Each structure stands twice: as C-alpha cells, then as structure tokens.
Amino acid sequence: MQQRDPYQHHVNPEHYAELLEVKAQRLRDLFADFNPPSLQVHASAPSHFRLRAEFRLWHDGDRCFYAMFEPGDKSKVYEVREFPIASRLINELMTRLLEDIQPNELLRRKLFQVEFLTTVSGDALITLIYHKPLGDEWRAEAEALQARLGFPIVGRSRKQKLVLERDYVNEALQVDGKTLHYRQIEGGFTQPNGEMNQQMLSWARSAAADINNSDNNGEPSSDLLELYCGNGNFSMALADTFRRVLATEISKTSVAAAQVNIADNQLDNVVIARLSSEEFVQALRGERTFERLSGVDLSSYDFRTVLVDPPRAGLDDESVKQVQGYDNIIYISCNPNTLHDNLQVLCNTHEIRRFALFDQFPYTDHIETGVVLTRKNPS
C-alpha cells in the first residue's frame, strides 16, 4: 500500500491553463470542417471544483482509510488523505467522518464505500455502503454521527437503503443575478462541477436571448422543447426566456426531482413529461399516445427552439430528424465525437452560430461542448 493519491501527479493547477488549451485545440481541429465561429472557452477553477466523490474504504486491521487504485490496476492501493479536485466541504467531511468512525467498530465494520455529494451553496449528503445488513443498532449510531457532522447520512447495503433524514441535497445556483433552486437526489445525475454549471446555464440563457423570441412588447413569443432534461437543470434557468417549456426525461428519479424544482422556483410555465426522446418524437408525430402526456395539448405549443443534452451516445437518427424541424437548436454534448456525427446531418439544414467548451472535468480528456444552430436561409 502506498501513501499517495494515484491522480495527484496529474492535478497541478500551475499547468491547468495549458491543459485547457490542449482541449480547446482538439475541439477546433475536430469541428474545423463545419467552419464554426470562434470557440468560447469556459475555464474551471483549477482546484476544489468537483461537488461529488466516492472512495473505497480500505481496512488494515483495526485501521481504515480512503483508498483509490492505480488506473487499470486494482492490485495497487493508494491511501487518499486529501482530494484537491473535490470541494473544500468534501475534504473537510472526509477527515471528520474518518476520525469519527475509526474508533466505532459498529460503524466501521464492513464499511465498503463512502460517497459524498455537496453543493455550491454548502449542503452535503454522505452515503455509507456496507457489506452487512443494517439494523437498529447501526441506525442509532449513524443518527448520532449525523448529528455530530451536521449533514444527513444514507446507509446502503444489499437490497437495503436507510434514509435517516433525507436522500437529497438542496442546491442554490446564482445565474445572471437570479437564484435557481434544485433538489439533487442521491444516486441521480447532477452536474459535477457546480461553478461550471452556472457558466453553462448563463451561456444557454444568452443563446436564448439571441434567438428572435419576443413579441412587440418584449415578451417571449414561442415555446422551448427540451429533450433529456434530467432534474430540470436547463428548464429552470430558461423558463423566463420562453413562453412555455415542455421537457422530457425517462428517469423516474430525475422527473420527481424536476417536479420539486418547478415548485421551489415557483414556475407555472414548465411541464416535465416522463418519456424517452424516441417516445416523445412518436407522440409529436401522432404515431402513439401516452397516458403520461394526458392533459398536455401538444398542438397548442409553438416550438421554434429545441434544447438537447443527450448521453454520450448522442442523438439517435430519428431524434436528429426531429430536431431538424426546429429553427433553433441548442445542443449540449458530453461527447464531442458523437456531436460531430450528429452535426454531419444537422448542418445540412442549420449552421453553427455559437461554439463553446465547458471544462466540467479538468485534468481529464472529457470535454463538454455547447453549440447553437439556426436554420439556414433558403438560397
């Protein structure tokens, strides 16, 4: 066992700017065939940017510690004493939690993994994952631990989930002078880099403002269709820039969180439907009806703009054809290669008006990209 973080030697804030430029040049080269506008590069904070982290808990006799492994080699275990890419709150809770459970045999025994979820606004949730059933004695000790730490704890083991107080964090993001409220569920998808998410939401709002979407009184005159909306990350931020927002998401957990977020942000013009992208395309075309769309009059919407934030596989062929039907496309991508594939088709009818890099994952090869496309004028 070695006393260092296997990723520590890659995380050097002094080199962050040059590493970011490597990513930016990769994007410029990859998308050069589309002749996009100048790339807008959104830099992350070089440290303490990640709001969630998970660690194996390694046991060595009566001692335990956070552990990571050499990438590609599970035989090399490294003790993690600090994690500079994680939020300061995660680093604080790592130390406090370990000091508290180390002398407590009931909490320590067969504890396999620890997960931390934090927010920009200072909330946190800790999940303790065990290789043993969790009973009343564990609950009593965990509740005492929860009181000492000041943040909620969730206990998990095989076919068990014990929520002592709540299984979510409450986030408050500051975007263009507005406070946006989000419930983020344990185990659900959330943007890992909160400060970067604020930049991304502001960029999307600016893109929406550039779209001709106002009547003579300056009020929004058209509606937004959003696919893959998650917990409503973009839906909440863009609600006041469109007349109405209709968003779809397949995950029950994310849809439930999105409904809470609609209420917490006091929005009356956002509807979230639990449908896959493919199902919603079928509904729009009148090919199928869904009970989950009951009460939603699709014909009453005036969709001129669509926002998509698909998984790494990008948009399927039918969804690409569907989004081509709208004048404006805001596309957020976590995989530039599948975005490039989709643009091979989309750029037959649309042209790129905005091109952005959001560095959600510094010190890795992962790139988050944003493009705004508008329909080409008929020649």
**Phi, psi for residue 205 in degrees, rounded to 5:** -65, -40
Residues 339, 364: contact at Cβ < 8 Å? no
Catalytic residue among 186, 229, 249, 334: 334
Distances (CA, A) of 52 to 85, 117, 123: 10, 4, 12
Q: Which residues does 9 contact at the CB level (< 8 Å), separation at least 6? A: none
Q: What is the DSSP string of 76-111?
A: EEEE-S--TTB-HHHHHHHHHHHHHHTT-HHHHTTE
- Examine the residue annotation and report whether 368 is marked as an active-site residue of this protein: yes
Closest CA to 346 of 371, 373, 377: 373
- DSSP class of residue 133? -
- DSSP class of residue 370? E
- Examine the residue annotation and report whether 334 is marked as an active-site residue of this protein: yes
Any idea which residues carry the catalytic annotation? 334, 368
